[in-house]
Amino acid sequence: MDAFTLEEEKLLSRFVSNMRGRVFVLQNLPEVIKGALFSRYSRSQKGLRRLLLDEFILAPETGFSQIAAYAEESGISQTLAIKKAQEFYDRILDGYGDDSIGELGGAHVALEGISNIATKFIQDRRIGGSPLEKSTRYVYFDDKVDSRWQYCRATQLMGRARSPGNNEHAQAYEQTCDTLFAAYSKLMPVMQEFFTKRYPKEEGVSEKAYAFTVRARACDALRGLLPASTLTNMGVFGNGRFFEYLIACMRCSGLAEIESLAEELQQELDKTIPSFVRRCKPSHKHFPSLQQFLQQRERQLKTQAAQATESIAKATIAPSSLAAAPTVKLIESDKRAEEKIIAHALYQHTDLPLEALLQYARRLPTTERNSIIAACVAGRENRRHKPPRAFENVFYTFDILADFGAYRDLHRHRMLTQERQLLTVEHGYVLPEEVVAAGVDKDFKAVMDTAARSFGRMSRMMPQEAQYVVPLAFRVRWYITINLRSLFWFSELRSVPQGHPSYRKVAQDMWQQAAAIHPFLKDLPNSVDMNDYALGRLDEEKRKEKNRE
């Protein structure tokens, strides 16, 4: 343990949570200093406190006093101080040549007034970032700003694609979005009244809990009217490596809104973690080759996909049979699931090679197999009691066709692999039963038809930009490859009573199909909820209210 003088302790104590323990937290330090400090830490014999003092606090070239606001009388802004000392930090970080160094510093970023297309693009980058998006389930989206509905305008959307030839598309696009928002706003009070009459407030339920639940059900029923262009807010915490790759991909997206957003994101991160986001600048020596790789890959795959589409259309697989695909279809599953779980579960408790344990598991009778697998989840009571990592060795691949609203919620899961197709109107849309029961299905269908026509015109010239006019009710196709441990969490979390009916159905179907192919799952403790609920949110609101008392 390092020893410090009283004066040294006075200098350090502001930046570490304690001066004596072997476990302590860095505090009051900007990300650039923490990242550089940890970089040095990995190759130094000094403890972190001593390293911070000797090589940062007392070293003039680090600009520490200004960056950490250590000398408040300096009057220099932290942003300017970071810029002045950036060469020093770049030199430290470059000295390690390891991309993981970019994970040692991060930033909390707010992105406001961005489309649902942009949020999905950002969330496609899974590792190192934690996004939280404004909910369409509990927040109304019918507020106007300067007498205009809040969606991504044609000038933002089309960018370079805007030309005299597509001005007509721009006008039709905005008229369609206006129509969708007007319908959403008009039908919201109608649906609230419908749910109030269908499900009267029960005795003992507070007015607040009941009102919130009815509001959520109305939002659930009508969110399908909102176009993908709907503006929303999202907060993201991510490390430098995450943001660097995110910005690079955004710059190569081919979408004007996202490329513009990339530049804004770069500008703001340059103020806080500039050393971690250098390589995603167009001027950086490594960026052109990455850009060329990403764009060339997309061009070649699109060409191959067009050939595959043409070939399939000529084959025995008729387009009509493809369109009739179920919501969830299990495409591939692990044929040796039980053997893998058993072998990997026992592995850490033996000194045997994995191959020997797999052979052992293969020889076991069914009763003994079931006994070992059951031991893996013995005493499990809820989804936070996670199965062991042995379950991560069993995989499933599902092809899913569900409304874009459901996809938005399920897309946030990151312990899996998923890829979606472009938004389209070709797969039809989901018409909520409640909309029909409330007698407003004609209004709903009319605006869906308007959106479909607008999409059809736009997609011929600009298939990427046409996605913005697609309402959330239209179905999108995507696949999920997921391991069994993650499937437990996914299906249990997304089938809870307060979940949206659309994604509850996806989660339930995935679990049922996995259990059908692997019957041992039916006997394991799980909390996948297969029931239907009228006001699924109500019990959760009552519980929250009780906790507040």
Q: What is the CATH number of the domain that holds 400?
A: 3.30.1360.170
119 & 55 share domain: no
Q: What domain count does the chain have?
A: 3
241 & 124 share domain: yes
498 & 532 share domain: yes
Q: In 3-state terms, what secondary structure has residue 387?
A: coil
123 & 219 share domain: yes
Q: In 3-state terms, what secondary structure has residue 343?
A: helix
pLDDT in tens, 352-385: 999 999 999 999 999 999 999 999 999 999 999 9
The whole-angstrom separation of Cα 34 and Cα 89 is 11
**Inside any domain, residue 186:** yes
The dihedral built from the CA positions of residue 510, 513, 518 and 524, taken in this order, carries a sign that is positive
**Inside any domain, residue 467:** no
Q: pLDDT 10s digit of each residue in the chain, 549 long?
A: 789 999 999 999 999 999 999 999 999 888 888 888 998 888 899 999 999 999 999 988 777 877 776 544 444 566 776 776 677 777 777 776 667 888 988 999 999 999 999 999 999 999 999 999 988 877 899 899 999 999 999 888 876 545 555 678 899 999 999 999 999 999 999 999 999 999 998 888 888 888 888 999 999 999 999 999 999 999 999 999 999 999 999 999 999 999 999 999 999 999 889 889 999 999 999 999 999 999 999 999 999 999 998 888 887 655 554 455 679 999 999 999 999 999 999 999 999 999 999 999 999 999 999 999 999 999 999 999 999 999 999 999 999 999 999 999 999 999 999 999 999 999 999 999 999 999 999 999 999 999 999 999 999 989 999 999 999 999 999 999 999 999 999 999 999 998 999 999 999 999 999 999 999 999 999 999 999 887 665 665 555 555 555
353 & 340 share domain: yes
List b or e across 348-380, with b for residues whose CB sees 16 or more CB atoms inside 10 angstroms: eeeeeeeeebbeebeeeeeeebbebbeebbeeb
The pLDDT of residue 312 is 86
First to last CA, the chain: 47
**Inside any domain, residue 314:** no
Question: What's the chain's length in residues?
Answer: 549
Domain final residue pick, 74, 103, 132? 103
**Inside any domain, residue 522:** yes
353 & 270 share domain: no
27 & 163 share domain: no
114 & 262 share domain: yes
Which range of residues forms the domain containing residue 274? 106-293
**Inside any domain, residue 311:** no
Alpha-carbon separation of residue 229 from 158, 236, 379 (angstroms) = 12, 20, 46
**Inside any domain, residue 462:** no
Domain final residue pick, 293, 317, 350? 293
**Inside any domain, residue 463:** no
256 & 400 share domain: no
pLDDT in tens, 421-474: 999 999 999 999 999 999 999 999 999 999 999 999 999 989 999 999 999 999
193 & 119 share domain: yes
Domain final residue pick, 84, 103, 122? 103
152 & 230 share domain: yes
The dihedral built from the CA positions of residue 468, 473, 479 and 484, taken in this order, carries a sign that is positive
85 & 110 share domain: no
pLDDT in tens, 278-306: 999 999 999 999 999 999 999 999 999 99
**Inside any domain, residue 70:** yes
